[in-house]
Structure 1
Amino acid sequence: MQLRKQQRGMTFVGLVLTAILIVFAGMVVIQAAPTYLEFLTVKKAVDKAATGTTVAEVRNIFDKAATIDTITAISSKDLDIGKVAGRVVVSFAYEKDIHLFGPAYLVMRYSGESK
């Protein structure tokens, strides 16, 4: 009876379940990280494109940046371009689907606007 009170730690089943959860979380992070990095690249390109003065110029600047940085998630046609207080504001929104397993997907929604 006293040996049982002194024992501490995880059971083998608990260890296996914990390992499965850690592996699953790692797989999700590994698949989601590239989409977030692409979002940061899109954000940088949108900030650069906001230096344009006309809609055509803004789209052209974004297309050049998208070609250089290989942005595939969004095109210049998907940008919302407007003026606020005399400055050009470019905003965007898009979704990325990440297949987890079977019929399960993780949907990442990204949106932002120029500074």
Structure 2
Amino acid sequence: MGAAPSLRDPRRRPHPPPEADPAPRGGTSFHFVDASPAEALEVARGLADGRDVRVGGGPSTVRDFVAAGLVDRMHVVVVPVLLGRGVCLWEGLEGLEERYDVETVVSPASGVSHLTFVTKH
């Protein structure tokens, strides 16, 4: 299967940044839309022509798509930072362990954690 089309932070970018080029790079196209998560996913599925769709973005975008029940598989990389910095990804997403199987791999040298969430069926 080829690379999946991606949407990058669709609700925070109603217009592409001036330097944005939607032309495919290595099989991946970037499309900027001003829409709800469900609407953005519908656009992406139409563009994907049956292939997988990947949604990229920051914690707010991920949280919105997960809260809407639109994420089947999610890979999250957690990098240690000072407490009190950053945006909380998990806020308002209580009970994820009931909806997803979670696998965690930690890199001892860096402390970086890779969490993979897969929808329970």
Same fold (TM over 0.5): no
Find the structure with the greater CA-based Rg: 1
Higher relative contact order (CA 8 A, sep 6+): 2
Give the TM-score normalised by the residue count of structure 1.
0.26
Q: As a proportion of its length, which structure holds more helix?
A: 1
